[in-house]
Structure 1
Amino acid sequence: MSSVRNTETKVRIKKAFTLLLVEKGIEGLTVSDITRTANINRGTFYLHYLDKYDLLSKIEADILSRLQKIFNTYGNTDDPMELIPYEAILEALHYVLTEFELIKALIGEGGDKRFIDTFKELIEETIQHKIEKSDFLTCNHEGLPKVYAHEILLSSIVSVILLWINRDAEESPEEIAAIINQTKQLSPITLLR
């Protein structure tokens, strides 16, 4: 019974935090705001979290852990050119929809700008792991410094996902996964025809 109550309390705290993150931003909200909105007392909050930054950190870690698990599940494809398989991207986008308001708040104006950087690092690690395991793939930069080549590769994935979230997920996860999959084969000049 106690674990069910703990889970319910954490859900209420998370919902309150999401609402307040949109309304006030991370710097503007307080633990008192969270407890009042969640209709719990401060002692209950402090049973679970040290402060609002601990809450933020744990929420972000949970989201990123779930995304990492999705990418790891699909990491062993037979296709050497499939850095992040369509199925992994699709499942990740479906997961984003389950936490949409929270994730949108995290990447929004009052959110945590480091969250986007950490997400990019997750994508980069996933791609790097695939390259290291492959006998076929190498990181050929075609005359570009490595740091810029990596940024171009990451930006094509991350930017599309961020734009989709900022547009309130107007397209389906299937459409966005297809767009991301298509960008793997496109160079910017082909978009200008």
Structure 2
Amino acid sequence: MTENRLDPRFVRTRRLIMDAFLLLSTKKDFKNISIKDITSEATINRATFYYHFMDKYDLLEKTLEEHLMTNVMREISIHDQLNETTLASVFMSVTQFQSSLASQCRKSFESFTSVIEAIIKKELEQVFFEMMVNQNAGVREESVRIASVMLSWSIYGAAVNWQYNDTRPAEEYIQLVIPYLSQGLKFFIEEGVR
């Protein structure tokens, strides 16, 4: 299967399945979407579905990962330094991703939240780790790993808190959060040199 990932037919079929799934997510709750529904909507057979995905949970994870990678990570990649501007940009991207998904998949969004959380944290952790390693020579890798985990969880937590508990614009809210993120990052980097 790895050899075929670049084959245009493979890519097209995979996209067709993901699009069918996203369309069904706007109409039905995730738990009520069956493989039969997905294959009917995508006009493929079950064997083709299982060639691309293990089950609907695998499809959910891969679809969300791909959407996250194209939407959120594109925004992050334009920054080469981890600073307050980058943190604000990452926060805005995460909130836009969540809002977009919530409006696209109203019926299933709550079912997706734990998967969204895991994917966002994992992807942000990796990006932050790479940025911090490049930016902070001499800092222990363990400290950078801890800082990247804390930062990714903090960004995600702030985005969720804003989404459910705050009425201010996201741009205004992140300005309240940035000092905490910056101080935490500074502490971890300073401690990592020791």
Name the structure 2 match of 1:90: 92
Give the direction of change, closer, same or farther, for the CA distance of 1:130–1:103 in structure 2 (3 Å limit): farther
> For residues 121 and 29 of structure 1, what CA distance do their matches in structure 2 show?
26
Q: Partner residue of 1:190?
A: none
Aligned counterpart, 1:71: 76
Label 1:89 to 1:147 Cα distance change in 2 as closer, same or farther (>3 A): closer
Does 2:59 align with 1:55? yes
Amino acid across the alignment from 1:63: H
2:170 maps to which of 170, 173, 176? 173
Q: Secondary structure at the match of 2:112?
A: coil
Q: Does 1:111 align with 2:112?
A: yes
Tell me by how many angstroms 1:63 deviates: 2.0
Q: Is this contact kept in 1: 2:76–2:90, CA < 8 A?
A: yes
Contact 1:64 1:119 (8 Å CA) reproduced: yes
Superposed counterparts of 1:1-193, under 5 Å: 11-20=19-28, 23-25=29-31, 28-34=32-38, 40=41, 43=44, 50=53, 51-66=55-70, 67-74=72-79, 76-77=80-81, 81-82=83-84, 84-101=86-103, 108=110, 110-111=111-112, 113-135=114-136, 138=139, 151-165=149-163, 167=164, 170-185=167-182
Opposite residue 100 of structure 2, the aligned amino acid is T
1:95 to 1:130, Cα distance in 2 relative to 1, 3 A: same
Indicate the SS of the match to 2:60: helix
> What is the count of residue pairs matched by the alignment?
171
Q: After TM superposition, give the deviation of residue 11 of structure 1 in Å.
A: 4.0
Instruction: Provide the rounded CA distance (Å) in 2 between the counterparts of 1:178 and 1:137.
Output: 30
- Partners of 1:24 and 1:155 lie apart in 2 by 25
Contact 1:161/1:176 (8 A) holds in 2: no
* 5+ residue gaps, structure 2: 1-11, 185-194
Indicate the structure with greater helix content: 2
How far off its partner does 1:159 sit? 0.8
Shift of residue 8, structure 1, vs aligned partner: 8.2
Q: Aligned AA for 1:131?
A: M
- TM-score, L = length of structure 1: 0.60
Unaligned runs of 5+ in 1: 188-193
**Aligned-pair identity (%):** 13
CA drift at 1:172: 2.7
SS of aligned partner of 2:86: coil
Structure-2 change in CA distance of 1:146 and 1:158 (3 Å): same
